[in-house]
Amino acid sequence: MKAWDWLLPGLGHWRSGYRREARKYFVFLGMWLAILILRFDRIASLYDFGGPTESTIALLFLALWPLAWILAARRGLNNLLSATRRESLSQWRIALGMMRRNARCVLGLKLLGIAYLIAFLCPILAPYDPSLTPPDTIVNKVAAPFTTIYVLGDTTRGEIYCREFRLEENGSLFLDRAEEFAHARVPLEDLGEPLGGWKRPPTGSRDVGGRTLPYRAEFHLLGTDDVGIDLLSLLIYGSRISLSIGFIAMFIAVVIGALVGTAAGYAGKWTDFGLMRLTDILMAFPRLLLLLLIYAAYAAAKMDTSIFLVVAVLGATGWMGIARLVRAQVLSLKEQDFTVAARALGFGHWRVMLRHLLPNSMAPLIVDSTLRVGDTILTEAALSFLGMGVRKPTPSWGNIVEGGAKVLNEAWWVATLPGLAIVAVVVSFNLVGDALRDAMDPKMRH
């Protein structure tokens, strides 16, 4: 193994004949280089564009990501080349092997990988800053996908926006401003350096009536939303919310559910009765109704309804199924010899619960929670859609659809595209969850 083999991840794999693994690392490297080269301008001026937190996260990610696969490639290659292979396989290793062979699961993981990559790198990848509402909403709002909007400089008024511009016979410039009443004519001599200067430098120029007019072209690949913000940027920034809230809320729910379930199953008697009846009652609530009730109570008290509240509430209303699952596991585990032995050795209740019972009920718990992440994402989106979850100006896929619902008749893309993003992510989570369930189920192994 030469120094090059681990400095350039995948090279060693390639030379040793593991072409498939090598290709994976080359794809990573290609993506990393592509981002670095294509978005170099943005990376260089990152802190002027995005907020400090997300910029730092994006830079850290960009720096640590290659490090992760350099180390992974090195370890993987050592494992492949070393003479002694692992003899025994743990439950998790078998499951991992099965999932790798499951094409649907691999597809799901790839999609999720891309989604998280986008979420981490959002200030680098987003073409515009979605927190800035464009100054001219008439021209910008509900622009169709693939629209270019031109920004011209007016020496008396500042920047002016239009969809297209052309010279009229009387010598003035006609600006097509998307709506009949908003069209404008500007005398040619007014055009040039805008009053107050360019907000961002011009990107091109066109010869009109013997003069060279500089303009800035703003291209909207997916169009704009109901207030004129670039939809692609909104989707990219919105991915942060959808991808993180599902996970964090799920984590809170798992912690609460595991604690309640273990306590109920292990303690038995009245603790069990009380906790399980509480679970029953909470399960009887239609979840959305429970969430809306809590939200209404907080909104009525004029409390801050921030993202943290959404996460906490989603977590606090999602643990009941997990608690039942863990309780059932603990009930059967606590009669088994290893638990009895642990008790006989004089270990305390807490130690038995946390070190013996909980780890052994982990497998079904993880399968169940993977399948629930998708559900949590859907619930968050529904809440945001109703205007009671994550609220504008923080974009989330749910509240972009809410904006799109208002302009459904004239602009189908605003409601459609974020929904597709939600579907893609939730389908991926479900594919991975299904594969994980099959992989953890000994009956499915052949």
Partner 1 sequence: MFAFVVRRLAWGVFIVFGVVTLTFVAVESVPGNPFSGLQSPKMTKEAIDRYKASWGYGPDKTGWDRYKIYMEYLAKGDLGRSVAQNRAVSSMLRDAIPNTLKLTIAALLLDLVLGVLLGVISALRQHTRTDNVLTGVSLFLYSMPGFWLSLMLALVFAVKLGWLPRYGIHSPEETGLLDYLQHLILPCVALGVAAAASTARFQRSALLEVIRMDYIRTARAKGLSERTVVWKHAMRNALLPTITLLGLYLPFLFSGAIITESIFGWPGMGQMTIKAITDRDVHVVTAVTIVGTTMVLIGSLVADILYAVVDPRVRLS
Token pair in block for residue 19 = 């072409």
Q: Should residue 409 be labelled a site residue for partner 1 when binding is judged by CB under 8 A? A: yes
Integer-rounded Cα radius of gyration of the chain: 28
**Residue 85 vs 443, nearer CB to partner 1:** 443
Token pair in block for residue 167 = 């010279």
Distance CA 25, CA 11 (A): 9
Judged by CB under 8 A, the residue of 255, 293, 340, 341 near partner 1 is: 293
Yes or no: say if 11 and 5 are a contact pair by the CB < 8 Å rule: yes
Judged by CB under 8 A, the residue of 46, 401, 436, 440 near partner 1 is: 401
Judged by CB under 8 A, the residue of 8, 267, 294, 328 near partner 1 is: 294
The phi and psi torsions of 142 (rounded to 5 degrees) equal 35, 50
**Residue 324 vs 356, nearer CB to partner 1:** 324
**Can you tell me which residue has the tokens 């005398």?**
187
Residue of 246, 217, 248, 222 whose CA lies nearest to 235: 222
CB of 332 to partner 1, least distance (A): 22
Q: Should residue 94 be labelled a site residue for partner 1 when binding is judged by CB under 8 A? A: no
SS3 of 224, please? Answer: strand
CB of 233 to partner 1, least distance (A): 20
> Using CB under 8 A as the criterion, what x/- string covers residues 273-292 for binding partner 1?
----xx-xxxxxxxxxxx-x
Token pair in block for residue 166 = 């052309």
Query: Would you say the C-alpha torsion 112, 117, 120, 122 has a positive or negative sign?
Result: negative
Give the count of beta carbons closer than 10 Å to the beta carbon of residue 429.
Answer: 26
Token pair in block for residue 400 = 């972009």
> Using CB under 8 A as the criterion, what x/- string covers residues 299-318 for binding partner 1?
xxxxx---------------
Judged by CB under 8 A, the residue of 91, 306, 332, 416 near partner 1 is: 416
Q: Should residue 146 be labelled a site residue for partner 1 when binding is judged by CB under 8 A? A: no
Q: Of 51-59, 89-97, 247-255, 417-425, which part binds partner 1 (CB under 8 A)?
A: 417-425
Q: Which residues are at the interface with partner 1 (CB under 8 A)? A: 277-278, 280-290, 292-303, 374, 378, 381-382, 385-386, 388, 398, 401, 404-405, 408-409, 412, 415-416, 419, 422-423, 426-427, 429-431
